Amino acid sequence: MSEREAARLLETDAEVAELAATLAGEPLVAVDTEADSFHSYFTKVCLVQISTRTADYIIDPLSASNLAPLAPMLSDPSVICVLHGSDYDLRILDRDHGLRIAGLFDTMVAARLLGYQAFGLASLLKQHFDLDVSKAAQRADWSRRPLTKELLGYAAGDTHYLAALRDILHRELTEAGRLSWAVEEFALLEQIRHEPRDPDPDAYRKIKGSRELDRRGLAILGELYQWRDRRAQALDRAPFRVMGNTTLLELARRRPCQTKELATIPGMPRSLSRAAGQEILAALRAALALPEEELPPRRKPSRGQRQDPDPTLPKLKKLRDQLAAEVSLDPGLVAPNALLESLSRAGPKTQDQMLEVPGMRKWQATLLGTRFLNVLRDR
């Protein structure tokens, strides 16, 4: 990091309150979080990093749990809050601490709108500051204490340069005439809230290779998937740390009947087969005992799948790709396929009608403009 004092670690509610007072009047702060989603089932915010242009702070919310004093500053639209890839941070800060951010500037979104091919933070820091960011801590268990000096340094580095990076990207957006695009995207991100989701009963179908299973194999995979989820909850461990997806798939294929056979399954931890072998076999037997009529279908139609192909859609995609090339942007950013499908169904005749299509941004409607409308009118 650049030459200034090392990040200050805050571990008490009093220190957080003191920080809130210190930051009062700051025109810009950079914010990031570290969570334990790679290790725990019940993920939580384990660190909150905040940087100004002159100082870095790291809050440990596992010991300093009252972050409410920061809320007025973070929710003040006159304070620029710089984050990188803010979607997940916004959700977990809202979920765990009721913190909401206004005045957002997302450096990843800005980079994408400028046509950067590599828009990860490490890539941007390398390009603009010639920094090589270590990836060693990316999968660290941030819930473990005490935190090492190396981990604290890594965490502080995530916000240390964000103010300077924001200045560069803000200037580039202005010069490219795309600042209004970014402002629109930031405003939409500011509305993000944590929304609890019901478990997806078909999540097991997303496992690579599941399409190759017969109906009985799918039933076994689904039963094992649910068993793994229950065990992961009981252990508060990320599901893949209980058993990997490839191991689930192999169990569904081989269908062992005895505990000693579990040891032959690739990726099966010995400790797991000893501790939970009978549970695994019970899940297998439950699926094997299902009547034929209760087995899941081999292929479940995708949501919103069309029965008849839309002849307009290929034309819209081709035009979208041309426009994206003209402005050097990712086609999926200019107009995601789902938005193209919505446009084709809605058939707008004017730009105002385009804006009524769910998911359509003003900058997208302006960019797509009459060329898109002509395709929709002429079909």
| Cα gap 49→158, rounded to integer Å | 8
Q: State whether 41 and 175 are in the same domain.
A: yes
Run of H or E including 33: strand 28-35
Are 22 and 151 contained in the same domain? yes
Percent of the chain surpassing pLDDT 70? 97
Same domain, 112 and 35: yes
Which conformational region is residue 169 in: left (phi greater than 0), alpha (psi within -120 to 50 degrees), or beta? alpha
Q: For residue 302, what pLDDT is reported?
A: 56
pLDDT reported for residue 283: 97
Domain finish residue from 157, 190, 223: 190
Question: Tokens 């268990």 belong to which residue?
Answer: 141
As given in the structure block, the two tokens for residue 337 are 């396929």
User: What CATH number is associated with residue 113?
Assistant: 3.30.420.10
Residue 129 is assigned to a structural domain of this protein: yes
- Whether 183 and 232 map to the same domain: the answer is no
The pLDDT tens digits for 19-50 are 999 999 999 999 999 999 999 999 999 999 99
Number of domains the chain contains: 3
12/77 same-domain check: yes
Structural contact between residues 373 and 343, judged by C-beta atoms closer than 8 angstroms: no
Structure token digits, residue 91 = 């959700």
pLDDT of residue 309: 72
Q: Are residues 158 and 84 in the same domain?
A: yes
Report the distance separating Cα 52 and Cα 160, nearest Å.
8
Chain centroid, CA 276 distance in Å? 32
> Which residue range forms the structural domain that includes residue 73?
8-190
> Are residues 279 and 354 located together in one domain of the fold?
no
Regarding whether 228 and 322 lie in a shared domain, the answer is no
Q: Report the predicted TM-score, pTM, of the whole model to 2 decimal places.
A: 0.91
How much is the pLDDT for 311? 86
Domain end, chosen from 227, 262, 294, is at: 294
Whether residues 90 and 27 share a domain: the answer is yes
* 167 exposure class (CB count in 10 Å sphere: 0-12, 13-18, 19+): middle
Query: Residue 325 belongs to a domain with what CATH number?
Result: 1.10.150.80
Q: Is residue 88 part of a domain?
A: yes
Kindly give the parts of the chain with pLDDT less than 70: 1-3, 300-308
Residue 135 lies in a domain: yes
State the DSSP string of 137-170. Answer: TTT--TTSSSPPHHHHHHHHHHHHTHHHHHHHHH
β-strands 104-106, 80-83: how paired? parallel
What distance in Å separates the CA atoms of residue 319 and residue 335, rounded to the nearest whole number? Answer: 10
